Structure 1
């Protein structure tokens, strides 16, 4: 499987769950693998899925679970054909680190069905169709949660799947390649660490590319192919996450959170905050305050 790409889910420090929604303009269709588990709902669009060494067709309403390092890739039908059918590509995915739950599995026998589900997810799993709408609803609800609530909701989703779903495995155990490695992932990890350490500073694309001894175009292609994001998108998301941490801690007002998270312009901060969090910084602060009252 020489064309499989090592992918790095853009998890930030102290983050164990990430929700991504992609559409026609953001579809990543390269066959890839990553250390995180992935739960994906097909909202719109059809095409082909490669999982392990097998190929399947997929349709709207289907839900898939991929374990750590399972090669997979969704290939959506030609966009012109999709337009003719009146539907483009859209899917929602949860990425999560299984190791976050290991101590829970060890100490609580009540979680045994979830543990078994994730143990077998290394083969890939297509969920039965009957519960797809409820799973999609739960995933959308999770997307708007913060921190611990998001972990609890993910556990609820996995428990729901493990106790009430009959599905099909996608690969045979002997087909899984255990030796998939990629040195470029070490470089991406270094880029993440560099950004975490310098997010308060002015960082240009030329700065970070030069730090890693690449030209800006080469670095941009490298980062996008491994993360499905531009570096600037990743940097903005990291800064918004840091601003949220400052607001929740109660040590910064929204203006201080703006400048301490690396933004230099209030209007730009508000615009990006609203795009990423779905609310203004002030609304976010009020919501956080109400949760503690």
Structure 2
């Protein structure tokens, strides 16, 4: 597998695509496309990997992913899980030239133009306005023609005014050849699918068909972090979803996401989230 260049289908004469994704799980292969993507989650939870970082997604969350950022959405519960309710999202796809090459350059839209530039970092909307933005995106499925463009500008303007988390620390620039892209997708897919296992550097280097030292250099070059840092972050983000089930003990969650002992789990959780698992659970379940 490799990061797949997607072509977003648009109906003839349409500059903006409104897409509903509904099914057992989201598309979980690393892919990218030229269009900017605005997505709101109505049903489903899991981890969004975008650029070289990751965040949780839950119902009500809204994201903007800039042009050509490799990304995937991994559902927390497999579609065959007896307590999985499937997924549902609405996404808007457009590029900066969709409405004319100078459209976003007019003075009245300078704030939105700046926002679209920042979307190259990947954006997650985080404050109370997210509920309003979420609803506005859901309503896009019933709009047509001029009303679509007006609503899109309104949504982007509201996102610009609200608080945001950036998924990547700076603008993500994707430049990778096909062979390296295939390796990166194999590494990420293997890790996501075997998170609870005891994954060693030797194991993952073998998946990448590299020596241990070659793999370490390769992964750091393309993700700006070590593989162990990536693995710990992924395990902690997965634990955050599991912590929302108050019946699940912290000790069980520790082992379910692949940590060998509770003390290391607590230490890594505090390092990444600046909270203990129990503090995180208490805040999220208020």
Q: What range is the shorter-chain TM-score in?
A: 0.5 to 0.7
Give, in whole Å, the separation in 1 of the partners of 2:82 and 2:143.
33
Contact 2:63 2:123 in 1 (8 A): yes
Q: How many residues align?
A: 178
Tell me by how many angstroms 1:25 deviates: 4.1
Cα deviation per residue 1:182-231 (whole Å; 9 max; x = unaligned)?
Answer: 9xxxxxxxxxxxxxxxxxxxxxxxxxxxxxxxxxxxxxxxxxxxxxxxxx
Larger deviation: 22-31 or 134-143? Answer: 22-31
Name 2:118's counterpart in structure 1: 120
Q: Which has the higher helix share?
A: 1
Tell me by how many angstroms 1:32 deviates: 0.6
Alignment equivalent of 2:89, drawn from 88, 91, 94? 91
Tell me by how many angstroms 1:48 deviates: 1.2
Contact 1:6 1:181 in 2 (8 A): no
Q: What is the 5 A alignment of 1:1-293? A: 3-25=2-24, 27-79=26-78, 83-84=82-83, 87-101=85-99, 102-107=101-106, 109-163=107-161, 165-173=162-170, 175-178=172-175
SS at match of 1:93: strand
CA shift in 2, pair 1:112/1:179, >3 Å: farther
Give, in whole Å, the separation in 1 of the partners of 2:177 and 2:153.
28
Name 2:279's counterpart in structure 1: none
Give, in whole Å, the separation in 2 of the partners of 1:106 and 1:58.
32
Contact 2:35 2:93 in 1 (8 A): yes
Give, in whole Å, the separation in 2 of the partners of 1:118 and 1:75.
25
Tell me by how many angstroms 1:103 deviates: 1.8
CA shift in 2, pair 1:181/1:123, >3 Å: farther
Give, in whole Å, the separation in 2 of the partners of 1:153 and 1:181.
38
- What TM-score, normalized to structure 1? 0.55
Gaps of 5+ in 2: 180-286
Cα deviation per residue 1:112-133 (whole Å; 9 max; x = unaligned)?
Answer: 1111100110111111141222
Gaps of 5+ in 1: 183-293
Contact 1:61 1:132 in 2 (8 A): yes
Give, in whole Å, the separation in 2 of the partners of 1:145 and 1:169.
29
CA shift in 2, pair 1:42/1:140, >3 Å: closer
Contact 1:30 1:73 in 2 (8 A): yes
CA shift in 2, pair 1:174/1:93, >3 Å: closer
Tell me by how many angstroms 1:27 deviates: 2.9
CA shift in 2, pair 1:71/1:159, >3 Å: same
Give, in whole Å, the separation in 2 of the partners of 1:133 and 1:83.
29
Give, in whole Å, the separation in 2 of the partners of 1:133 and 1:82.
28
Name 1:259's counterpart in structure 2: none
SS at match of 2:102: helix
Give, in whole Å, the separation in 2 of the partners of 1:157 and 1:123.
19
Name 1:262's counterpart in structure 2: none
Name 1:195's counterpart in structure 2: none
Cα deviation per residue 1:43-81 (whole Å; 9 max; x = unaligned)?
Answer: 111111110111222222111100110111101123358
